[in-house]
Structure 1
Amino acid sequence: MMETLLLKANEQEDVQRAGEILRRGGIVAIPTETVYGLAADATSGQAVSKIFEAKGRPQDNPLIVHIASLEDLPPLVEQVPPMAEKLAQAFWPGPLTMVFRKSPRVPQEITAGLETVAIRMPQHPAARDVIRAAGVPLAAPSANRSGKPSPTTAAHVMEDMKGRIEAVLDGGECSVGVESTVVDMTGDVPRILRPGAITQKQLKRVLGKNVEIDEAVFHEVAPGQPVRSPGMKYRHYAPKAPVLLFVGAPDVTARAIEQEMQPHDAVLCFDEYHDFYDDEKGPVRTYGPSCDKQAQGQQLFAALRDLDATSCQRILAQAPRPFGEGLAVSNRIHKAAGFQVVRPAKAQVVGITGTSGSGKSSVGACLQQMGWQIIDADQVYHQLLKLDRNLTRTVLNQFPAVAGPDGTVDRKALSRIVFEDRMELRRLNAITHPAVKREIRRRIRVLTSQGCRRIGLDVPLLYESGLDHVCDFVIGVVAPEPALTERIVRRDGISPEQARIRLASQPDRQFYEALCDILIENDGDEEALCRNLKESLPQMEEAEKK
């Protein structure tokens, strides 16, 4: 067994030493922003063969070539299409890999016999420093034993590769945590072969044209079928114990896992559900909040490796929402589970949220035309204030100035108070949210029992109330600030200044961009709004299949 050196990425001497090992045909694990890579000279078939040997990786699985600058690209490919130039300018260095037609300089060991080669320029400065120190492009698949969860720390690499490779260069924890997005640039339409931190929406925005997603992202590849990218074939990213994946709204999957859990099972769940389970029954690990796709990507592989260190015989896992960056995490955990999934809910529930005046009700109306049943949280709230005497009494006790002459709540007076004072708004929400949530959950149960299979929730404070946890996914509706103000003035008969005060008490656009799964821009054209929504429906329908 060879000695594996542990080198430091912040020590220039260690970086140069890593380069020397690579120049003489050795193997070094290097840090990147995605995961640690097992690097070898990409121009040497003999050196590349050592990667397959160290990983135990099938040789029909192509590798990605890593470069340090754009000048390194042309010698490796037949040509660089204009679309690829645009993407390189936008996303390199970064977590984007592009597939090109290869030049004769690229050995067959890299490409698994294909006439194409996958290339990227990593963002991590230590990775580019090592490439420059080696003086050659580097092939660098994830630095784990084949099929296991990818390593996001040097310690993970040492667990798998100590005694199998010459050195590990420690550059700290990986900032992204899942492998790069892989896009095939050899056809007329770019095609995502493996999702990553660079999303389909980002690619479309740069190219100004459609970008397709390969079916292999969502389904298991048939035996013997050739693949054009790493991560498309075999059972990948998997711990030792089999994974059973629960797909759907977080509250629904959390309850289903609790009912399914047997002795010697482990749970992989979102942060907010950790205390939902009795860890005396089995280990419980988390991988970020249910609405934080970036945290999920950073923590998934470490959580799976942590469960590998336990004696669990099965892992019951909550699935993330497969939108934006979440598609990459969803893809990895589906592959870890071998696409073995449970869908416990009978109905699909979509949340609709946004600020006042954004057009949530218009989106709800569009969905209603498509056969969805809509539950409007504002209507529920207003009905409860009329019919729920306990709720009305509590509101009037806390806000006596809003009592109407007949003992009801003057909603306009209440709105003026709470939208001008955030503390008062929080106080009101603490009173009303529990009652509204209970009633909405009850209505979901009733609609489901009646055979309804598609339910929309129009909820202004969806995330603040926690109702995002009953949703399979969430649509955020946004609009320019002047349009929001004008709509509120027209709808509610208040002044522009009052409308702006109301908007100032609500989350901004960035809030919805960060949290929502699908973002719909509403510029006031209802036909365009419904058209945009219909264009998003394929994403929604694909999510339902997963």
Structure 2
Amino acid sequence: MISQDINQAKQLLEEMELIAIPTETVYGLAGNAWEEEAIKKIFELKKRPLKNPLIVHISSLDKLDQVAYDIPQAAYQLAKRFWPGPLTLVLKKLPHISNLITAGKDTVAVRVPNHPLTLSLLNQLDFPLVAPSANPFGSISPTSSPHVEKYFKNDLPLILEGGECEKGIESTIVGFDEESRAIIYRLGSLSMEEIESCIGKVNLLNHNDQNPEAPGMLSKHYSPKTPLIVSEDMENSLLSFHEKAIGLLLFKKANKNNPNLIQEILSPTGNLSEAAKNLYAAMHRLDQKGLSLIIAEKLPNEGIGIVLNDRLARASKFE
């Protein structure tokens, strides 16, 4: 059921049920972070590998000491600047945090989401929420309630309706080394430039399939069922695959040489933030067209465009 009933959401979560919640990044599959039964349900429903940690969602910076300790000063600086918002911090976990959440690591990923409904819900709960994206593991992230319903219509008692996600791309994840120097584990809605404007120079870690330090670090991710390739030369790619039923994922201009092809334009004005908001929704639409191939145009590799190209590259990795 899709609804804005926060009281029902609260009751279901207290009864160890899972629900879908809106955030500014993507919709999350939420459960009680203090209860292993709920945490296990999330892994089972998503078919998510246990080696892949979850993000704990709290209502405010004041609640951070309920999940983490020995918090670096740079973490506080980032949280004060960007929370509520698309920033996840990886910090030393307190002993009561389930090893299921952290994939057995001694760190926990935590953030304050920026959505009025979900913040209101978190403020009414006596526990934080674990909430990975509300999709089967490896699939396209959901940025609207219909996306979640498509995946989990018969599995969730409630999808909390929060409209389309404002950002449309996952949070940026920042951790710290033994000297409290910041490391970006995953680039997301918050750019490297924004992070560095707050705390100075940071390092960027590469994908890690074997032992991911944080959520979203696996090299294949965010993928449609339809095979997808990324092209820097669209006309040449179209010549190579002319016999296939093709859909195009384009930045700002339609491909006028092939008007009969199904085409999704991410931002007619060439705005990368608008493209980010529309990326997953466009991928969902193309994925439902019965195509044999999606060709995605590589985006300008600057600002949030770097993140969008990363998501497209990971979506294009074939099994």
Same fold? TM cut 0.5: yes
Higher mean displacement: 182-191 or 325-334: 182-191
Question: How far off its partner does 1:306 sit?
Answer: 0.6
Q: In 2 relative to 1, CA 288–54 (structure 1 residues): closer, same or farther, beyond 3 Å?
A: same
Question: How far off its partner does 1:186 sit?
Answer: 4.0
Contact 1:68–1:131 at 8 Å: present in 2 too? yes
AA at the equivalent of 1:193: Y
State how far apart, in whole Å, the 1-side matches of 2:171 and 2:257 are. 33
1:194 equivalent to 2:186? Answer yes
In structure 2, the partner of 1:66 is 57
Q: Higher RCO, 1 or 2 (CA under 8 Å, sep at least 6)?
A: 2
Q: In 2 relative to 1, CA 295–149 (structure 1 residues): closer, same or farther, beyond 3 Å?
A: same
1:379-414 CA-partner distances (Å, limit 9, x unpaired): xxxxxxxxxxxxxxxxxxxxxxxxxxxxxxxxxxxx
Question: How far off its partner does 1:268 sit?
Answer: 1.3
In structure 2, the partner of 1:297 is 276
In structure 2, the partner of 1:267 is 248
In structure 2, the partner of 1:287 is 266
Q: Which consecutive residues of structure 1, in runs of 5 or more, have no partner in the other structure?
A: 9-13, 248-252, 341-546
1:34 equivalent to 2:25? Answer yes
Question: How far off its partner does 1:289 sit?
Answer: 4.3
Contact 1:269–1:284 at 8 Å: present in 2 too? yes
**Alignment coverage as a number of residue pairs:** 317
Question: How far off its partner does 1:258 sit?
Answer: 3.1
State how far apart, in whole Å, the 1-side matches of 2:235 and 2:74 are. 46
1:148-159 equivalent positions in 2, closer than 5 A:
148-159=139-150
Question: How far off its partner does 1:196 sit?
Answer: 1.2
Question: How far off its partner does 1:41 sit?
Answer: 0.6
Which structure: greater helix fraction? 1
State how far apart, in whole Å, the 1-side matches of 2:267 and 2:135 are. 23
In structure 2, the partner of 1:140 is 131
State how far apart, in whole Å, the 2-side matches of 1:146 and 1:215 are. 20
Q: In 2 relative to 1, CA 322–105 (structure 1 residues): closer, same or farther, beyond 3 Å?
A: farther
State how far apart, in whole Å, the 1-side matches of 2:147 and 2:75 are. 33
Return structure 1 stretches of 4+ with deviation > 4 angstroms: none
State how far apart, in whole Å, the 2-side matches of 1:337 and 1:100 are. 31
Counterpart among 174, 177, 184 of residue 183 in structure 1: 174
Contact 2:26–2:170 at 8 Å: present in 1 too? yes
Counterpart among 45, 60, 63 of residue 36 in structure 2: 45
State how far apart, in whole Å, the 1-side matches of 2:150 and 2:231 are. 29
Contact 1:196–1:327 at 8 Å: present in 2 too? no
State how far apart, in whole Å, the 1-side matches of 2:171 and 2:152 are. 22
Structure showing greater radius of gyration is 1
Provide the alpha-carbon RMSD of the alignment.
1.7
Q: In 2 relative to 1, CA 184–190 (structure 1 residues): closer, same or farther, beyond 3 Å?
A: same
1:17-64 CA-partner distances (Å, limit 9, x unpaired): 101111111101000000000000111111111111111211111110
Counterpart among 206, 214, 220 of residue 205 in structure 2: 214
Counterpart among 218, 226, 229 of residue 244 in structure 1: 229
SS in structure 1 at match of 2:141 = coil
Contact 1:274–1:286 at 8 Å: present in 2 too? no
Counterpart among 289, 312, 318 of residue 333 in structure 1: 312
In structure 2, the partner of 1:6 is 2
AA at the equivalent of 2:239: Q
Contact 2:20–2:30 at 8 Å: present in 1 too? yes
In structure 1, the partner of 2:237 is 257
Contact 1:20–1:133 at 8 Å: present in 2 too? no
State how far apart, in whole Å, the 2-side matches of 1:339 and 1:131 are. 38
State how far apart, in whole Å, the 2-side matches of 1:276 and 1:123 are. 42
In structure 2, the partner of 1:306 is 285
State how far apart, in whole Å, the 1-side matches of 2:283 and 2:274 are. 14
Q: Which consecutive residues of structure 2, in runs of 5 or more, have no partner in the other structure?
A: none
Question: How far off its partner does 1:260 sit?
Answer: 2.7
SS in structure 2 at match of 1:191 = strand
Question: How far off its partner does 1:276 sit?
Answer: 3.9
What is the TM-score of this pair, normalised by structure 2?
0.95
Q: In 2 relative to 1, CA 290–212 (structure 1 residues): closer, same or farther, beyond 3 Å?
A: farther
Counterpart among 270, 275, 298 of residue 319 in structure 1: 298
In structure 1, the partner of 2:106 is 115
1:503-514 equivalent positions in 2, closer than 5 A:
none
State how far apart, in whole Å, the 1-side matches of 2:211 and 2:203 are. 19
State how far apart, in whole Å, the 2-side matches of 1:274 and 1:31 are. 34
Contact 1:111–1:117 at 8 Å: present in 2 too? yes
State how far apart, in whole Å, the 2-side matches of 1:168 and 1:111 are. 25
AA at the equivalent of 2:218: K
State how far apart, in whole Å, the 1-side matches of 2:7 and 2:186 are. 32
AA at the equivalent of 1:260: S
State how far apart, in whole Å, the 2-side matches of 1:33 and 1:67 are. 14
Higher mean displacement: 268-277 or 311-320: 268-277
SS in structure 1 at match of 2:43 = helix
Matched residues, percent identical? 35
State how far apart, in whole Å, the 2-side matches of 1:95 and 1:33 are. 7
State how far apart, in whole Å, the 1-side matches of 2:216 and 2:271 are. 23
Question: How far off its partner does 1:339 sit?
Answer: 8.1
Question: How far off its partner does 1:325 sit?
Answer: 1.5
State how far apart, in whole Å, the 2-side matches of 1:90 and 1:67 are. 16
1:159-218 CA-partner distances (Å, limit 9, x unpaired): 0011112210001000100000001124432111111121111111111x21111122xx
Contact 1:45–1:108 at 8 Å: present in 2 too? no
Contact 1:265–1:316 at 8 Å: present in 2 too? yes
Contact 2:254–2:263 at 8 Å: present in 1 too? no
Counterpart among 205, 208, 214 of residue 229 in structure 1: 214
1:322-376 CA-partner distances (Å, limit 9, x unpaired): 3221222111111101189xxxxxxxxxxxxxxxxxxxxxxxxxxxxxxxxxxxx
Contact 1:270–1:290 at 8 Å: present in 2 too? no
State how far apart, in whole Å, the 1-side matches of 2:127 and 2:288 are. 37
